[in-house]
Chains A and B, each alone.
Chain A
Amino acid sequence: MNLKELYQEIILDHGKNPRNLGKFDNYNKDAKGHNPLCGDDVHIYLRLNENKKVDDITFEGKGCAISMASASIMTEMVRGKEETEVKEIVTDFLEMIKEKDELNNNLLNEDEKTKLMSLSGVKQYPMRVKCATLSWHTLSSALENSQEIVKTEK
């Protein structure tokens, strides 16, 4: 394992120029996440339409390259997906980042999976796994309409 694997070009790109950053007006679900260890924050906004599809998703936040890239890539992956599909992708991603070697869902194409797998380098850095997972846990919380702030430390 080396740093090049952790800080791949795609991570640096999304970390520096996060996609879907900001807040949009007519969101109908949102949730906040916080990592007390480092003080990083994320706020996810999304709109589920009448067909339970995520027709828009953005985030606000401050954090390291890993956390910003993870949030940015996540918004790209779940936009246009149905709520149940989003949940499946989230679960799959969280399992991959913790223990599995690959993603098992059939909802993302190979290019998308490759993009998401760029975050897998974080596995070798246990203290940094939370940076990669914070926005994903926060997305779950938003879907469940939880008012509680997601924390990486319980």
Chain B
Amino acid sequence: MNIENIKKEFPIFDDKIQNNDLVYLDSANSAQKPKMVVDRIYDFYTKEFSNVGRSVHYLAVAATNLYENTRTAVQKYINAKNKNEIVFTKGATEAINLVANTFGQKYLKEGDEVLITELEHHSNYVPWHFLRKAKNINIKFAEVNNEGEITLDSIKDKMTEKTKIISVTHLSNVTGAILPIREIVSLAHSKNIPVLVDGCQSAPHLKIDMQDLDCDFYAISGHKMYGPTGIGVLYAKKKWLEDLPPYQGGGGMIGEVKKEGITYGDLPNKYEAGTMATAQVIAFNESIKFMQKVGIENIEKHEKDLMDYGLETLRKNNSVNIIGNPKKRGGVISFTIEGIHPHDIATILDEDGVAIRAGHHCCQILHDKLKLTATARASFGIYNTKDDIDKLNKSLENCKKIFNLK
């Protein structure tokens, strides 16, 4: 696999950014877009645009087919049984909110417990917090260990008779830990507890198979998978989508609307109210094609090589303290440097064209546990090379120089 050729498919790398070659190490935040994805949006708007699912004219039918093609592509990509188990949302955040809202409405009552983990992104905590406020439910946090991992035992420790749903990340966006999802699901199902998996960080980097994981819900973010912003996917087992109430009301999701009452549409329309992010959904198909063309196995291998090299390089740099040491790790390295705040690191790196993230990465619970207000984070995508890591390291040396550190 020739990374330089793959990188050429991403127009962002064609030009200098602030007079530097871009070293983009912020893909866990959002990935860059290959030309085929960007072109697809342009082509759709300029040659094929119409709203989907409503009118009978030629463009409307063609657009509907394109839109539904993405659904089928996603179904196949994640190995869902049925294409109606794929619901498009505006992002993974909305996917989780959809489940928390509808599941909460129907199944949660005062005193019930939702089990999440200390690794969760705010988007897998705040939606459950709404239920804590509205319904007096309790939220339990499985504890992260010293390596920055969530083990099966840490989940087991917090499971009680009152646990009604478990909602966990597949891959931590801070420590990079990959959670034992299959084992968690199997344990939960033995107690009839459904499991939601936040797949934001895993879907772009790992092979994900709904039949293998057997989870009840899986949330995916389009823009982290080299796709457009404004598009996400909720995978849910059909029984849940049939059972749970609709999330938002509006056009497109109805069966029949009368003054006396309303019936709702069939799947998947029931959960797709209003005009959806049509162009983004259609372009998201190209992201999946792109990932299939590169091959998820190749992506996994390349990113593991990068991470190993990144860990090795940064460990040699004595000032760098790497957060967590999970045995199974995805392409994320968070770190601190004693004496330099992460935001100062990020500003200085930016001057060299090295784009990283600094802050709490929407994981304040974890940062509180680590007794840190912020960390710096380098995360990888298919377009990164070992040269990027060398540039990162060199730029970190520059930080130390500016801050007069040895």
A96: Cβ under 8 A from any B Cβ: no
- Binary interface encoding of chain A residues 1-41 relative to chain B, with 1 for a CB under 8 A from any of its CBs, else 0: 01110110000100010000000000000000000011111
For B342, the chain A residues whose CB sits under 8 A away are 38, 64
Measured CB to CB, the nearest residue on chain B to A62 is B373
- Binary interface encoding of chain A residues 51-65 relative to chain B, with 1 for a CB under 8 A from any of its CBs, else 0: 000000000001111
B172: Cβ under 8 A from any A Cβ: no
Residue among A2, A7, A64, A125 having the largest count of chain B Cβ atoms under 10 Å:
A64
B359 touches A38 (CB 8 A): yes
Q: How far apart are B204's CB and chain A's nearest CB, in angstroms?
A: 24
A48: Cβ under 8 A from any B Cβ: no
For A98, the chain B residues whose CB sits under 8 A away are none
The interface residues of chain A, by DSSP majority, are classed as mixed
For A66, the chain B residues whose CB sits under 8 A away are 343-344
A139: Cβ under 8 A from any B Cβ: no
B360 touches A65 (CB 8 A): no
B351 touches A39 (CB 8 A): no
Find residues 46-90 in chain A having any chain B CB closer than 8 Å to their own CB.
62-66
A37 touches B359 (CB 8 A): yes
From the candidates B339, B343, B351, B404, name the one contacting A38 in the complex (CB within 8 A): B343
Find residues 321-349 in chain B having any chain A CB closer than 8 Å to their own CB.
339-344, 347-348
For A37, the chain B residues whose CB sits under 8 A away are 359
A128: Cβ under 8 A from any B Cβ: yes
B373 touches A65 (CB 8 A): no
B364: Cβ under 8 A from any A Cβ: yes
For A3, the chain B residues whose CB sits under 8 A away are 347-348, 351, 402
B358: Cβ under 8 A from any A Cβ: yes
A7 touches B373 (CB 8 A): no
For B373, the chain A residues whose CB sits under 8 A away are 38-41, 62-63
For B351, the chain A residues whose CB sits under 8 A away are 2-3
A131: Cβ under 8 A from any B Cβ: yes
Q: How far apart are B351's CB and chain A's nearest CB, in angstroms?
A: 5
**Bound-complex Cα distance A7 to B374 (A):** 20
**Bound-complex Cα distance A2 to B351 (A):** 8
**Bound-complex Cα distance A101 to B28 (A):** 38
Q: How far apart are B277's CB and chain A's nearest CB, in angstroms?
A: 25
Residue among A2, A63, A65, A125 having the largest count of chain B Cβ atoms under 10 Å:
A65
**Bound-complex Cα distance A125 to B18 (A):** 13
Measured CB to CB, the nearest residue on chain B to A40 is B373
Q: How far apart are B258's CB and chain A's nearest CB, in angstroms?
A: 43
Measured CB to CB, the nearest residue on chain B to A2 is B351
**Bound-complex Cα distance A76 to B350 (A):** 31
B348 touches A38 (CB 8 A): no
A39 touches B343 (CB 8 A): no
B403 touches A128 (CB 8 A): no
**Bound-complex Cα distance A9 to B344 (A):** 14
B289: Cβ under 8 A from any A Cβ: no
Q: Which 5 A-B pairs have the closest CB atoms?
A: A64-B341, A64-B343, A39-B373, A39-B360, A38-B359
Q: Which residues from chain B sit less than 8 Å from chain A, CB to CB?
A: 339-344, 347-348, 351, 358-360, 364, 367, 373-374, 402-404
- 9 A-B pairs within 8 Å (CB atoms) are namely A3-B348, A3-B402, A7-B402, A12-B402, A16-B339, A37-B359, A38-B359, A64-B342, A65-B340
